[in-house]
Amino acid sequence: MLPEDIEHRFAFHAATTDEKRDAHTSVRQACRRLADHINETCPDGREKSLAITAIEEAMFWGNASLARQQ
């Protein structure tokens, strides 16, 4: 991996347009709705915790893809 790749992955990528900010918000809201649904529908336990963690991870990677696009 090139040093530039590492730099890009770990740099702060601010949303520079209203469109990007709206896209980040949309991803967060959609993930939140799914997390709420899982929380209300599924019994407490390891599986539910893992499902919500996976939604957090999906939100992170979705927003990272928006932030890191070149």
Across 15-27, average pLDDT: 93
How far is residue 8 from each of residues 3, 21, 35, 39, 64, measured CA to CA in Å? 9, 19, 29, 35, 11
Band of residue 1 on the pLDDT scale cut at 50, 70, 90: confident
pLDDT value at residue 69: 85
Across 1-29, average pLDDT: 91
Mean per-residue pLDDT over the chain, rounded: 93
pLDDT value at residue 10: 85
Give how far the C-alpha of residue 44 lies from the chain's centroid of Cα atoms, to the nearest Å. 23
Where in the chain are the domains? 18-68
Handedness of CA 3, 14, 55, 65 (dihedral sign): negative
Q: Are 27 and 66 in contact (CB under 8 A)?
A: yes
- Residue 70: is its pLDDT beyond 80? no
